[in-house]
Amino acid sequence: MKPFPKDFLWGASTSAYQIEGAHNIDGKGPSIWDAFSSIPGKIKNEDTGQVSGDHYHRFREDVALMKQIGIKVYRFSIAWPRVMPTGKGAANEKGIQFYSDLIDELLAAGITPWVTLYHWDLPLALQLEHDGWLGAEISDLFAAYADVCFDRFGDRVKNWITLNEPWVVAILGYGLGEFAPGRVSHSEPYLAGHNQLLAHAKAVEAYRKKYAHQGGQIGMANNCDWREPLTDSPKDQAAAQRALEFFLAWFADPIYFGDYPAVMKERLGDRLPAFTEAEKQMVKGSVDYFGLNHYTTMYTAEATGPIGEASMYGNAGLADDQDIELSLDESWKRTTMGWPVAPWGCRKLLEWIDDRYGRPDIYITENGCAWDDQKIDGKVKDTDRIEYYQAYLQACQEAIENGVKLKGYFAWSLMDNFEWAHGYSQRFGLVHIDYQTLERTMKDSAYWYAGVVRENGV
Ligand code: PNW
């Protein structure tokens, strides 16, 4: 593999509910994921995040592992209900202390924190009292919470991500009911998306107005798969473009251009809320960089009949709103999530973003894969994961050579964790966690990754 630019950032990501455990101690309030995972049938094997990797108690050990791998930047999220148990009002000092200690531990290890403010664990009280992301108050409540985080951590945290994957929250949380809060609707996703954009923009406005002296940067992490036209017919090409606009441009167009894509307005009508002029101005320009979570690729065609099975997967979105039909090539290797390994799609997506949004600085804030662990002689052989990372990093390298301003890459994930509705059945980590004993084992992929980081001289 060709070397990356000298100042390229190498990191790994996690999120609070997926690794912390300690779900009800030191004053933490319940989140919608605590509630959702207590409902029978929602999570594979009835797993919950109550203990998970117990990172809350073992974070010093985990930071030492990061140092060993050579990771230079670490992306984690703050659990809103740990910092504000009911989502508003006074901060919970023990929750603040935990994140403060984690940040200090990272800095002492020479690791730069990248902090996500919202990775899906909404305080349950806000769901019950304010209708979660559907409520008119949620954007102000989020901005007030964000303000507390900037105030308490911003002296040491210089890289912020407001929201993780608003698309997933909207589609899987409010459209397909697969994630918390488990709602099923064809209109709520677009309202939940709208309120997330406003929440993001209000938090960024507060950061820029009150905390400019901290000298940090702020953005959002959007997820998008690549959509490759099934054939080169104009219809399929238009379908693939439309699918990308319903996926990524849904959130990125308001941020870069001040409004939703025309195709969404046309097709959704009243189901897509409209921004006021003042809101357009506030949302436009509300990021300092483009954060991208990317995992996979699917073929896309214009739908010719009823939407088929592949398009019913969560990652199609509401396919009938888009008139698209997804498919895959049976020869493609697929991870245990069922997601195709198609690194060329990563390069094409980076180039699509580069082109559409005027060559922004891009950070891949998540990329990775789930594979079952094969333990051999007490070590985890991780050949498939190494191959995936090699291929996707190669694709990133090609994008950079083609002029894309890709500035950094975060592997998902640092350690095995609670994979949402899949519970502990899907293993994304560079580090293996044995959930019986909570022991950590390094995987081959972690050593390989450490090698790549070293080769690039950071
Ligand atoms: C992301 N989809 O979730 C999240 O940011 C992580 O918390 C998660 O563990 C990781 O990717 C792996 O799943 C996604 O259906 C969930 O397209 C679903 C989709 C995409 C991303």
* Separation between Cα atoms, residue 407 and residue 397, nearest integer Å: 11
Instruction: Check pocket membership of 15 for ligand 1, CB cut-off 6 A.
Output: yes
424-430-433-439 Cα dihedral, nearest 10 degrees:
-170
CATH superfamily of 9-455: Glycosidases (3.20.20.80)
Predicted confidence band at 306 (pLDDT cuts at 50, 70, 90)?
A: confident
**Is residue 449's pLDDT more than 80?**
yes
Higher pLDDT, 367 or 457: 367
HEC string for 394-438: HHHHHHHHCCCCEEEEEEECCECCCCHHHHHHCCCCCEEEECCCC
pLDDT digits (tens, 9 = 90+) for 28-38: 999 999 999 99
Helix (H, G, I), strand (E, B) or coil at 157: coil
Q: Are 86 and 123 in contact (CB under 8 A)?
A: yes
> Which atom of ligand 1 approaches the CA of 225 most closely?
17
Q: Are 426 and 339 in contact (CB under 8 A)?
A: no
* Separation between Cα atoms, residue 393 and residue 409, nearest integer Å: 9
* Separation between Cα atoms, residue 29 and residue 1, nearest integer Å: 46
Predicted confidence band at 375 (pLDDT cuts at 50, 70, 90)?
A: confident
The mean pLDDT value of the chain amounts to 96
Ligand 1, from 412, 425, 430: best to mutate by most atoms within 8 Å of Cβ? 412
pLDDT digits (tens, 9 = 90+) for 61-86: 999 999 999 999 999 999 999 999 99
Q: How far is the CA of 366 from the centre of ligand 1 (A)?
A: 9
Instruction: Check pocket membership of 315 for ligand 1, CB cut-off 6 A.
Output: yes
Q: How far is the CA of 234 from the centre of ligand 1 (A)?
A: 31
Q: Where in the sequence numbering do the catalytic residues fall? A: 165, 366
**Strand-pair category, 226-229 with 379-381:** unpaired
Instruction: Check pocket membership of 366 for ligand 1, CB cut-off 6 A.
Output: yes
